[in-house]
Each structure stands twice: as C-alpha cells, then as structure tokens.
Structure 1
Amino acid sequence: MGVPVEEVLELPVLKSAKVQTPLYERDVEWISVIETPVENFVRNNEFVLSTGVGCGEDITVLETYVEDVIRSDASILAFATGRHLFKIPDRIITLAEQHELVLVEIPWEVRFADILQGVLQLLNEEKQKAHRHVEGIRQELINCVLNGKGLQEITTILYQHTGLPNAISDHLKHIRANQHFDSSLIEALNGRRDVDVALIEDPFDLEHPLTHFIETYQIGEERCYQLTILSNYKKQGYLLFQPEEDEEVTVEMMTILEHTLTACALYFVKENAIEMTEIRLKDNFILDLAKREQRIDKQLLAKAGLLGYDLEKPYVCFVGEVLFHQPISRSEGNDGQLPPSSSLQSRNYYIQKEAAYAGHMVGRQVMTTFDEERVIIFLEADKEGSEEAANQFLDLVERRLFELLAGVTIQWGISCHKDGCQVFHKSCEEAQTALQMGGQQNEAGGRTFFKETRMNRLLMALSHKREIEEIVQDTLQPLIDYDQKRQAELLHTFMVYNKYNSNVSQTSRALNLHRQSLLHRLRNIEQLTGLSLLDADDLFLLELSVRLWLLKKVEKPAPH
C-alpha cells in the first residue's frame, strides 16, 4: 500500500526539486533519512533522503552508497545539494537509471523535516483512503449476507475487488460457489483427479496475520491457496483462491480475504440457524402428532403442507429404543470420535439422515422425530399397511446407520394400523406397546409388530388380577430366591428349555452346558416348585407363570 512516485514528487515542498532520472512506475511506502553506511536500514519502496555527508567528495564512496540503496529496493533517492554534494555526477545518474531508481536533487534550503511531514501526511491520507475502501468492501460483504444473498454473490464481490479467481465449499468440500476458479484444481484437491497434490510452505512474505492460516497446494505445475471458514471453532467450509502470481497478493487483498471469511462464516451460521429452526418445527409438529390425539382438519393439513408433509396418506409407525453404547462415529471429518457432549445430537442427526435416505430409496415419504431416548418414524404405506415395506425400510436404515455409528443397536416396535389414514397417535401407542412387549423376548436390535403382541396383551390383562398374581408369586418365588442366593440361572434355564420344546440336547447346546449339568438344574426346578416338567398341566402352569412374571417385571408407562 503506497503512493505513486510522481504523486509524491508533486508535493509543494518538493516544487524546487530536480528529478535527474525518468519517473519509473514505483510506489513510495516509507520515508527516512539515511547516511552512509546503509546496511539494512532501508526497506523496499522507501523514499531515502541524504545530505551525501561523508561521500560527496569521493565518487567511489558515493557510488557504493547508491548501490547499497539500490540493493535495498528503494523507490526514490534524494540528495540535498549545496554543501556536501553540489551536483549528482553523471556516473551516479547512469547507475540509478540502470536500476530504475528515481534520483532527485533537493536545494539545501529545503528542510528534511518539511519533506518528511509532507510525505508522511500523503502516505497517511492514502492509508485512510485504502482503509475506507476496504471497510466499504467489508460492509458490502456483510450486507450481502444480511440481505439474503448467497455464497455466489460473495465470490462475485471478492473477484470484482481483487481479481482473484475464487471458490467456496462446505465442510464436506462440496463446491457451493465458483468465480472463475479452475474446477480441475478442485477435483484434484478432493482426490477425484489423478495428479500429485502437495502441501507446501506459505510463499507470501506479507505482514498480515491471515498469512499464517493459508494452506498452499502445489497441484502439478499449478498452485492454489485455501483458507478454512470457522465459526465458534467449528469448521464450516473452505475459501479457495488462485492469483496469477504470488507477488500479486497485497496486504489490502489479504484484508479483503479476511472480511470474505467473516461473511462466509456469517452465511453458514445463518444457514445452519434456518436449517435448525426448520428441523425443530418439523420435530415438534411430528412429536405432537404422535403424542396427542387430535382432529386432522384443514388447518392441520395446511400446516403439514407448509412443512412438506401430506397427512392424508396412510403411514406405518416405528418407535425405536436406541441403545448407544459408545459416542463413536466413523463419519468423515471427525477421525471416528464424537465429543461426549454432542453424542446424542450427532446420533439423532445420523438416524434422521438415514431414515430420509431410506425413504428416498423406497420412494416413500418419511417423517421423523425424537422423544427422549426413542426415535419415532412415520413411513408412507399402502392402504392396508405393508410389513414387507416396513422391513425393507428398516433394513436400509440399519445397514447404513451401523456403518456410520459404532455401538448402536435399536429395538423396534412397529404398527401397521388397520384403519389406514390419519391415526398417528393410535399408531404410535401401538408401536410403543409392541416395543415394550417385544423387548422381553427379542434380542437387542429386534423388531416386533403390534399384531404379534396379542398373546402378551392378553397375558398383561390377566396379570393384574390379584388371584393370578398370587398364583404366579407362589409358583416362582422359590426359583427367584434360589437364583438370588446361589447366583444360579434356573429361571433362564427353564425359559430356554421351554423354547426348545423340552429337548434336552438342544437346550444344553444353547446354554453351553453339559447334559448332566442341565438335568441337575431341571431337577432343582422340579424340587423347588413341586411341579413336574413331564406333566403337561404343570409345564403349562410354570410357563404361564414365567411369562406373566416377565410382563410384570418390564411393565412401565410409555414415555410422554
């Protein structure tokens, strides 16, 4: 950021100065008074003032001094003539011309302090002008986001003010906006093009804090740069840019890039807020639909339509109990580890995402919400409700979900309500009942349809009768006490024995027990209960008692 040489030399204080060389296209960024030796006290694009003291009488020493200034890449060298140096020798002028250094003679009467004041004031005005220009760009970028415009408009503003081809991607490196940026470089960065990509050191030698955050990529013979868009320390996306030459990038450009990053971060925050609001509205609507019986009238249908749902179709209801053993994900971008504080939110996000994907694959509408540790899904169905479609849908959800999340199992209760349309609350209650009753007999990850729970529902009704409760208590209490005191598994042994229709060989294999050990357990069951496992009535009484006891053990109100 500097002032052109000719503009500096037009200052009133330099009106009497004589320019001895052409006015080369150089800028002035600094001004100083330097006498011999120069060493490293002169910066590039500097206006150097000198009296020539110590070298005016010796042209060789003067030449060495000028060469030192040239090596420092100064823009102007001005000598105060009249005392130590009366005239700049032709040999020195030729040397300056050869290296495009503007050489100026200043009358001795002109004070250096006045020159310094004039040039510094000019540089400060230019700096203020540049600051106002960049501030205007910053405001333009922010207004772009606040006025509802998108990332493409942001890339356009950046290109208009810097000429830098640029592109913006999201955190998954999907390009969201492109302004003259080479798409083949994007393909290479994303690994979709067979070319060597190397991360190299930052080539920009600029005094700007943003330079430390630039990632520089060498892609074959080309080079491009990447900045990460962050918001609340969370990666939102990337800003890519590609100058024709590295020297083209200035401090002012870096400041504009910094403001562009801020605008991009603001855009992503706004986009995420809108998305989260929409998700929250949908979740609340579906949860209310599932938990509260209500009339499906025109007003409710219209509200559903605004959210993208059609309530006049029939739906299968799924209620899933999510068992999440470890907050670990194999998804891209987090190295397989989710912070414990975000595990619930992340888990719900993946479940919702995979439910939507599975619905798309089977060509049916899906509505998903969450009720504490349970997921509630409504899947568009045929009029009579389709078990085959329900299983196909869950197969798709679980196959992809278990690849994304480790340690997750889901127990499902499913209701294909016979009344068809507009029975959301009733279907959800049935699915919860199926989930509750199915959990006793299925292993983790099982599925229970409501119509499969008829026997358990009948038993549940019987289990509340006092006389039956007493019979169950009298029959099983000796086994319960024995199991607790001896850490035995007599009840479990009987359930497996009954499952295999009293087949000793199959039961011993299932329990991984020696045949004699199993027979010993069965004899203990008979002795403790006073029932014979060979008597059909006794076996029925024991089986009925166990099933009623299990139903009472797991019985609990459905969550609201």
Structure 2
Amino acid sequence: MNLSLEDVLAFPIFETAKIISGKNELGAKTVEWVSVIESPVENFVRENELVLSTGIGCYTDPHLFFDFVKDVYESGASALAIATGHYIYRIPEEIVDFAQKNKFVMIDLPWEVRFADIIHELTSAINRLQQDELLRLKEVQQELIEMYLTKKPFSSIVSVIEKELGLPVLVMNNKGNVAGGSAKLRDVWRMWNDMKTSEEAEESHHPIFSKMKQAESKDAQLFHMNIQSSEQNQGDFFVVAPPSYKMKLREANLIEQAVMVCALWLTSENAVAENKNIRQKEFVLSLTREDEASEQTIREEAQGLGFDIDLPYECLIGYPENLESLFYQDPNHNHQTKKSWLDKMMAYIEMELADAAQSIQRQVMYAREDDKMIIFLQASESVTQSSSNGTVNQFLDLVDRRLNKLLPGVVVSWGIGKHADGVMSFYRSYNKAASALEVGRKQKGTGKRYHFDNTKISRLILNLSKNEEVQEITMSTISPLVEYDEKREMDLINTFIVYNENAGNVSQAARVLNLHRQSLLYRLRKIESLTNLSLTNPDDVFLLDFSIKIWMSSGNRIDQHHL
C-alpha cells in the first residue's frame, strides 16, 4: 500500500494550502518521504518526495526561481510546496504554466504553516504505513510457511506470491525445470539470455537490492534472485514486470520472503527429483543395453517411474551439434562455467521434449548420455511405416520449433529407429537409431533426420568400408584425385559427384557447378587421365562412384600406406 499525494493533502495541516497546478495528478502521485530544499537542488531530491521550500535562495531572481522549480520537477519529486508570504509572495505565471504543462503538482503553502509540523505529521503517517506493511509481510510469510508445512501444492504457494506482488512469477529448480509460476518460460529465458545491465535492481544501498539482478527488454523487465539453501543453489526466482515498473522496498522484502519459502520447498523437491532423474536415466539407459534385464524387472521399474511399457516405442537419438559454439556466442557466458551452461541447456531441451510429447498425447521416456539425448517415444498403434514416421516427424517438428525459439541457431541431428519393432523391443530400436545417426551424419551431413529404413545403402557402404580389400581398391582408385585436389584445389571429386548425379548431362552439371561447359569437359578429361577410367564406361563410373562413397563414409580419411 502506498501513501498518495491526495492522502497527504487531506491532512488537517494542509487545510489552508492551495493547489495551483496538477490537481488531476494527486491520486497517481506517491509520497515516500518529505524534505526541505533550497536552491540549488543538484541531487538532493529523490523520486516521490514531497519537497518543501521557502524560495530563499532564488526569490530575488525570477530566472533562478524558474530553474529551481524545473530542477525539482526533473528530480522526480511528487510535488513542490512553496511557503508564500515572506520571500515569495506570488508564484509567477510562467512557472505555473510550466507546472501545468508538465502535470507537476505545485502547492501554495501559507507562511504560518511550520515545516516541522508537516514533517512530523507526514513521517508519522509513513511510519504507520510501513508498520502496517511489515505486519502484512509477516502475515504473508506465516501463510507461505504454513502452506509449505501442510504440504500444499507448490502452485498454490506461488499463486499467493503472485497475488501479493501483482506480477507474474517463474520459479525454476537447479536443473532449469519450471517448478511453478505463470510467467512464460520463453519470455523469461529471452530476457535473461539478452540481459543488458545492472548488478542491482534499484539504485539503493539496501542489502536486499544487492541480491537482485535485473534484465530489460523493450516491452518488459525481469528481476532475478538466486534460491539458495545451505550455500547450495536450489534454483532461480524470476519476476516479470512492465517497462515502467519501479520495484519498492516492500516488494523486494516480499520477494526475499518468497525466495526463503521456495528454498525450503525446492530443497526437498530437488532431492526427490534428483533421485527420480537418476532412476529414470539408469532405467532408460538399461533399455539400450543388449543384456536387458528380465521383462518382470523392467515392468517393476517402469511401474515405479510411472511408465507404461505395454506400448510400442520407437527410439530417437538427438545430438546437438553446436551447443559449445552457442555457449561462446552467449553474451553472458563469462558469468558461468561451460559445464553449468551446457547442463542447463540440456535440462531445457529435456523439458521441451516432455512438453512436445504431451502436445501430441504420446508417452516419452528419455535420458541423456554425454551430449546425446536418448528418447523412447510411444509409436503409433498402427504398424505402417507412414503412420510411424508421421508421429515421429510431428514430435520432432514441435521439438525443433521450440528449441529454435529457446536457442536460435541450434543444430540437432536425429537418428530414428525402425518402425514396428513392437513392444519390449528397446535395444533393437536403440541400436537402429544409433546406426542411423552414425551413418546419416557421415553420408548426409549434420542437422538432418536419419531414418533407419532409409539408410540401407549407406549402412551397406559403411560395413564394406571396413573391409581391407575394399579399402585397397578404393584408395588405389581415388587417391590420384585426392592428391590432385590438394595440390591444385580443383575439386575434381565434387565435379564427378555432380556430373554423376545429373546422369552424365554435361550442360546441366555445368550449370549446377557454375562452370563454363568447356571448363567442365576439361575437368572430366582430367578425371579420366588421373584414374585411367572412362566416364563412358558404366563399370568404370560405378567403380569411381562406389570408391568416393566408401571414402566419404570413412570421414574423408585416407590411410597413407594405401597411397
């Protein structure tokens, strides 16, 4: 609750005062303190102060008096009360016009009204108000603690906090998962990631404000406090406010009390969640091993974690390719270690996976192993490949959209297991997804989706590339082109690939390569002379195409003893 200027001017001591400008602003102006100031103003006036003055420093010079009033207005004072009848007898019209134009409240105060009486009455009212606020703060604190002790839902606790603040809140645990609050995660994350400045939320020496950080955007402000317990981080407390909002001591005190209760709740919940996350990770990873536990053991563990394994699941493996580079692009990366940043990002990604699965009404089990995300997504009840791919693609479309909003520029490669493996086929599905991811990244590059059913040729080539005789034939065929490309930088290998993909059509291949037709013919003759193969002979073309595929499947690495 704030003391308005309208409340102040209703005090009996102001009965003889006259409001000469800004009458319509009385209800909107807040009075936090009262001060007596004479010229010059400089930085002695704070925002929301009622300023009292006799004008003694400027009454002989109208220009100085005007500058004095202007300085008080620009300081953010609630109002300026001039004691008239001794130094100042009448407030000049130009000053009144300035005050009216800028909606600044000016008060004509009779000389007989003592400043000391005004200060006494106003400070007494402010102190009473502060006592009332302190009492209300204690009541809220007790209410929150009572809710925690009686095990009320955390959402109810946060609702009370939001109601008292009149602002949306977001509470996150130490894994980056949302624990409660109505503020939007993406808005909070965007502002926090693009944080501009400010070690403190207010220009104040009060210790509460020194604990609070502030982020700003064109349409909102974000206030943040760490949630700690026994010097251990339990999570983050965010408050989203309008751009013009200025946090006061009451709200800061309330946030501090709220953070204390959140710390109590998160300490116990984080321990429970950590245990569940460990159990879930161990369970999901156990499904990826060839020596799976017995069906009865799997069923018991799944039931304890709330998973229904009597459904068909398809394995997806996601690999974020560029998280490390995104860390260094983050303007705030110096404020945290790379490991903590990556852990938080992976926690956000896991949360988006759960939300995406919920959106399409599918169950999902997931775990992180190193930088890979292992997901078992409930497959369609239908056994057709198209229906299975439809479910998977719908899920991944949602995930990709969410991740690109959360982490613009993130690149994720996905390996997708074979459809219709059925119930209790976890290891087979995982093995196929891992194979699809490995082969797909080597053959088609990063940032794509690789379905196991679509990698038959790639898998065949990858297996053949491990054969020593195949390696010998491949290297003897392709090494002259590799050496020539390294020396002349003519890129003969890519030239052949484009030529072959265009079915030997020289004009069409030249357009794709952005080459003159004669330049392409020169390159093709050079390929023939270096390899002793004819590009008009189907067998020779097959051998060269096969050798390039084998070479590329090995990551473009050449064993020097074959050269």
TM range (shorter): 0.5 to 0.7
Please give the alpha-carbon distance, in whole angstroms, between the structure 2 residues aligned to 1:407 and 1:214.
Answer: 30
Which residue in 2 is equivalent to 1:415?
417
Per the normalisation by structure 1, the TM-score is 0.57
Counterparts in 2 of 1:294 and 1:490: CA distance versus 1, 3 Å: same
Counterparts in 2 of 1:156 and 1:533: CA distance versus 1, 3 Å: closer
Please give the alpha-carbon distance, in whole angstroms, between the structure 1 residues aligned to 2:487 and 2:393.
Answer: 43
Please give the alpha-carbon distance, in whole angstroms, between the structure 2 residues aligned to 1:353 and 1:257.
Answer: 26
AA of the residue aligned to 2:343: Q
Which residue in 2 is equivalent to 1:45?
none
Equivalent residue in structure 2 for 1:500, among 499, 502, 505: 502
Please give the alpha-carbon distance, in whole angstroms, between the structure 1 residues aligned to 2:530 and 2:212.
Answer: 77
AA of the residue aligned to 1:421: V
Contact 2:227 2:262 in 1 (8 A): no
- The structural deviation recorded for 1:541 is 1.2
Give the alignment of 1:147-546 within 5 angstroms: 148-149=151-152, 170-171=169-170, 210=208, 229-231=225-227, 235-238=236-239, 258-324=256-322, 326-327=325-326, 341=338, 342-381=340-379, 382=381, 384=383, 386-546=388-548
Counterparts in 2 of 1:393 and 1:156: CA distance versus 1, 3 Å: closer
AA of the residue aligned to 2:452: F
Please give the alpha-carbon distance, in whole angstroms, between the structure 2 residues aligned to 1:552 and 1:351.
Answer: 31
Q: Tell which structure's C-alpha radius of gyration is larger.
A: 1
Counterparts in 2 of 1:238 and 1:399: CA distance versus 1, 3 Å: closer
Counterparts in 2 of 1:273 and 1:538: CA distance versus 1, 3 Å: same
Contact 2:417 2:430 in 1 (8 A): yes
Please give the alpha-carbon distance, in whole angstroms, between the structure 1 residues aligned to 2:249 and 2:361.
Answer: 53
Contact 1:167 1:177 in 2 (8 A): no
Please give the alpha-carbon distance, in whole angstroms, between the structure 1 residues aligned to 2:540 and 2:552.
Answer: 18
Please give the alpha-carbon distance, in whole angstroms, between the structure 1 residues aligned to 2:249 and 2:537.
Answer: 95
- The structural deviation recorded for 1:337 is 11
Please give the alpha-carbon distance, in whole angstroms, between the structure 1 residues aligned to 2:367 and 2:547.
Answer: 38
AA of the residue aligned to 1:449: H
Which digits, 9 at most, give the CA deviation of each residue in 1:68-108, with x for residues without a partner?
9867749xxxxxxxxxxxxxxxxxxxxxxxx9xxxxxxxxx
Counterparts in 2 of 1:489 and 1:208: CA distance versus 1, 3 Å: closer
Please give the alpha-carbon distance, in whole angstroms, between the structure 2 residues aligned to 1:305 and 1:480.
Answer: 56
Equivalent pairs: percent with the same residue? 33
Contact 1:411 1:446 in 2 (8 A): yes
AA of the residue aligned to 2:345: R
Contact 1:417 1:423 in 2 (8 A): no
Please give the alpha-carbon distance, in whole angstroms, between the structure 2 residues aligned to 1:422 and 1:473.
Answer: 43
- The structural deviation recorded for 1:303 is 1.4
Please give the alpha-carbon distance, in whole angstroms, between the structure 2 residues aligned to 1:459 and 1:421.
Answer: 30
When structure 1 is superposed on structure 2, of 269-278 and 487-496 the one drifting more is 269-278
Which digits, 9 at most, give the CA deviation of each residue in 1:434-462, with x for residues without a partner?
11112233243222221222223333343
Please give the alpha-carbon distance, in whole angstroms, between the structure 1 residues aligned to 2:438 and 2:514.
Answer: 29
- The structural deviation recorded for 1:429 is 1.2
Please give the alpha-carbon distance, in whole angstroms, between the structure 1 residues aligned to 2:254 and 2:526.
Answer: 84
Unaligned ranges ≥5, structure 2: 1-113, 125-133, 173-177, 183-187, 189-203, 214-221, 242-247, 558-563
User: Aligned-residue CA RMSD in angstroms?
Assistant: 5.1
Please give the alpha-carbon distance, in whole angstroms, between the structure 2 residues aligned to 1:250 and 1:537.
Answer: 83
Contact 2:418 2:429 in 1 (8 A): yes
Unaligned ranges ≥5, structure 1: 1-66, 75-98, 100-130, 179-189, 191-205, 216-225, 241-248, 556-560
AA of the residue aligned to 2:422: G
- The structural deviation recorded for 1:550 is 2.1
Which digits, 9 at most, give the CA deviation of each residue in 1:281-322, with x for residues without a partner?
323321232245303422321211222211221111112232
Counterparts in 2 of 1:523 and 1:373: CA distance versus 1, 3 Å: farther
- The structural deviation recorded for 1:380 is 0.9
When structure 1 is superposed on structure 2, of 142-151 and 287-296 the one drifting more is 142-151
Q: Secondary structure at the match of 1:408?
A: coil
Counterparts in 2 of 1:307 and 1:168: CA distance versus 1, 3 Å: farther
Contact 1:402 1:408 in 2 (8 A): yes
Counterparts in 2 of 1:261 and 1:338: CA distance versus 1, 3 Å: closer
Please give the alpha-carbon distance, in whole angstroms, between the structure 1 residues aligned to 2:179 and 2:425.
Answer: 43
Please give the alpha-carbon distance, in whole angstroms, between the structure 1 residues aligned to 2:474 and 2:342.
Answer: 40
